[in-house]
Amino acid sequence: MLRLGRMAVGASGATHYCALRPVRGESGRLVELQTDQLFNNYIPVLLASIVGFILVLSALIGSRLLAPFSQDREKSTTYECGMLPLRRTSTNVGMRFYLYAILFVIFDVEAVFIFPWALSFVGIGPMAYWTMVIFIAILALGLGYAWKKGALQWR
Amino acid sequence: MTSELFGADLNPWVDAIVRLLMWVGFMTVVAMGLIYLERKVLARFMARIGPQKTGPMGLLQSVADALKLIGKEDLRPRNADPWTFELGPYLVFIPIFMSFLAIPLVFDWHIRLFELGLLYFVAISSINLVGWVMAGWGSDNRYAMLGALRAVAQGISYELPLVLSLVAVAIFNQTLNLEEMILFQGQTPNILWQPLAFMIFFVAALAEMNRPPFDIPVGESEVVGGPFVEYSGIRWSMFFLGEYTALFIMALLASVVFLGGWAWPLGEELGRWWQVILMTVKTSAFIFLVFWVRASMPRLRIDQLMAFSWKVLLPLTFAQVLVNGLVLAYEWDYWVSRVALGVAGLAGIVLLYAIIDRSVRRPRPRPAPVAQSEAVTA
Residues of B in contact with A44 (CB under 8 A): 16, 19-20, 101, 111-112
Residue-level pLDDT at A9: 41
Residue type at position B217:
P
Residue B334 has pLDDT above 70, yes or no: yes
* Whether B97 and A4 lie within 8 Å, measured CB to CB: no
Residue-level pLDDT at B44: 92
The model's pLDDT over A63-75, given as tens digits with 9 standing for 90+, comes to: 888 888 887 777 7
Residue A7 lies in a domain: no
Please give the mean pLDDT across all residues of chain A: 74
> How far lies B133's CA from each of A93, B91, B136, B153, B183, in Å?
12, 10, 5, 11, 39
> How far lies A62's CA from each of A73, A88, B93, B235, B287, in Å?
25, 31, 17, 11, 31
Residue A139 lies in a domain: yes
Total structural domains within chain A: 2
Nearest CB to B3 within list A17, A51, A103: A17
Helix (H, G, I), strand (E, B) or coil at B8: strand
DSSP one-letter code for B6: T
The dihedrals phi and psi of A30, each to the nearest 5 degrees, come to -70, 125
CA distance B24 to B103: 15
Residues of A in contact with B315 (CB under 8 A): 140, 143
Residue of B nearest to A3 (CA): B183
Burial class (CB in 10 A: 0-12, 13-18, 19+), A22: middle
Portion of chain B with pLDDT greater than 90, in percent:
34
Confidence at B371, pLDDT banded by 50, 70, 90 = low
CA distance A78 to B78: 7
Interface test mutation site (partner A, options B10, B139, B321, max chain A beta carbons within 10 A): B321
> How far lies A107's CA from each of A97, B192, B331, in Å?
15, 28, 28
The model's pLDDT over B54-112, given as tens digits with 9 standing for 90+, comes to: 888 888 888 898 888 888 888 888 878 888 888 888 999 999 999 999 898 887 788 88
Residue A88 lies in a domain: no
CA distance B95 to B238: 12
* Whether A17 and B322 lie within 8 Å, measured CB to CB: no
Considering the domain architecture, whether residues A103 and A48 belong to the same structural domain is answered as: no
The dihedrals phi and psi of A31, each to the nearest 5 degrees, come to -115, -25
Residue pair B32/B62 in contact by the 8 Å Cβ criterion: yes
Residue type at position A107:
F
Nearest CB to B160 within list A3, A47, A108: A108
- Closest by CA to B137, choosing from B94, B76, B88, is B88
Residue A117 lies in a domain: yes
Interface test mutation site (partner B, options A38, A50, A53, A78, max chain B beta carbons within 10 A): A78
CA distance B177 to B173: 10
Considering the domain architecture, whether residues A16 and A59 belong to the same structural domain is answered as: yes
Residue-level pLDDT at B367: 66
A:20-49 residues touching chain B, CB 8 A cutoff: 20-22, 36-37, 40-45, 47-49
* Whether B229 and A79 lie within 8 Å, measured CB to CB: yes
Confidence at B372, pLDDT banded by 50, 70, 90 = low
Give the dihedral sign, CA B351/B357/B363/B366. positive
Asked which of A45, A66, A87 is the last residue of a domain, the reply is A66
In degrees, rounded to 5, the angle at the alpha carbon of residue B32 between the alpha carbons of residues B28 and B38 is 145
Residue B369 has pLDDT above 90, yes or no: no
How close A34 gets to chain B, by Cα (Å)?
Answer: 12
Residue pair B79/A26 in contact by the 8 Å Cβ criterion: no
Task: Specify the higher pLDDT residue, A40 or A4.
Answer: A40
Cis, peptide link before residue B367, omega less than 30° from 0: no
Within chain A, residue ranges assigned H as helices are 35-41, 43-66, 95-120, 126-148
Considering the domain architecture, whether residues A107 and A58 belong to the same structural domain is answered as: no
The dihedrals phi and psi of B263, each to the nearest 5 degrees, come to -85, -40
If residue B13 lies in a helix (H) or strand (E), which one and from where to where?
Answer: helix B12-45
Residue-level pLDDT at A8: 39
Asked which of A66, A82, A111 is the last residue of a domain, the reply is A66
Residue A73 lies in a domain: no
> How far lies B357's CA from each of B121, B161, B317, in Å?
33, 20, 19
Q: What is the pTM of this model?
A: 0.87
Please give the mean pLDDT across all residues of chain B: 86
CA distance B93 to A49: 10
* Whether A56 and B142 lie within 8 Å, measured CB to CB: no
What is the domain range of residue A17? 12-66
CA distance A103 to B45: 39
CA distance A33 to A48: 24
Residue A6 lies in a domain: no
* Whether A152 and B3 lie within 8 Å, measured CB to CB: no
Q: How many CB pairs under 8 A join A and B?
A: 230
With a CB cutoff of 8 Å and minimum separation 6, the contacts of A23 are: A9, A10, A11, A13, A15, A30, A31, A32, A33, A34
Considering the domain architecture, whether residues A59 and A111 belong to the same structural domain is answered as: no
Residue A23 lies in a domain: yes
How close B226 gets to chain A, by Cα (Å)?
Answer: 12
CA distance B292 to A108: 31
DSSP one-letter code for A2: -
Residue A1 lies in a domain: no
Residue of A nearest to B142 (CA): A89
How close B170 gets to chain A, by Cα (Å)?
Answer: 7
* Whether A21 and B177 lie within 8 Å, measured CB to CB: yes
Residue pair A115/B119 in contact by the 8 Å Cβ criterion: yes
The model's pLDDT over A88-129, given as tens digits with 9 standing for 90+, comes to: 666 677 778 888 888 888 888 888 889 889 888 887 888 889
The model's pLDDT over B286-321, given as tens digits with 9 standing for 90+, comes to: 999 999 999 998 888 888 888 899 999 999 999 999
Residue B267 has pLDDT above 50, yes or no: yes
Give the mean pLDDT of A10-35: 44
- Closest by CA to B84, choosing from B227, B182, B281, B217, is B227
Work out whether strand B3-5 and strand B8-10 pair parallel, antiparallel, or are unpaired: antiparallel
